[in-house]
Amino acid sequence: QVTLKESGPGILQPSQTLSLTCTFSGFSLSTYGMGVGWIRQPSGKGLEWLANIWWDDDKYYNPSLKNRLTISKDTSNNQAFLKITNVDTADTATYYCARIADYGPFFDYWGQGVMVTVSS
């Protein structure tokens, strides 16, 4: 059974760095073809893809945010991470991690999401 769960700080101030953790089970990021992505959703709005990381440590970033994003993984502990530097109020959103289906770069299992508020 595949599960994912996000964790984060809840609230942080503008200009700080947001650190998110995705803890998953039911698959391994050391397995050929596996990947995890991060997607966010401001309240009442649409979805925005942020970054993907693959089993071979290949990484892809949303070009519009690339300079602020860092994705990484800890294979031994079944975790993936996302850092966003220099946050501002526009980064307030629910952040999801999701497994990338091994038959295509879309997302077949999602976490419940973690809400992050940027406020002074």
Partner 1 sequence: IQMTQSPSLLSASVGDRVTLSCKAGQNINNYLAWYQQKLGEAPKLLIYNANSLQTGIPSRFSGSGSGTDYTLTISSLQPEDVATYFCQQYNSWTTFGGGTKLELK
| Using rule CB under 8 A, residue 105 touches partner 1 | yes
Would you say 10 or 104 has its CB closer to partner 1? Answer: 104
Residues in contact with partner 1, shown as a per-residue x/- string from 68 to 97 under the rule CB under 8 A: ----------------------------x-
- Report the C-alpha gap between 120 and 107 in whole angstroms: 34
Taking the CA atoms of residue 53, residue 106, residue 9 and residue 1 in that order, the dihedral angle to the nearest 10 degrees is: -90
Structure tokens at 88: 């501002």
Nearer to partner 1 by Cβ, of 55 and 61: the residue is 61
The reply on whether position 1 binds partner 1 by CB under 8 A is: no
Specify the stretch interacting with partner 1 by CB under 8 A; choose among 9-17, 24-32, 72-80, 99-107: 99-107
Closest by alpha carbon to 83, among 29, 46, 49, 38?
Answer: 38
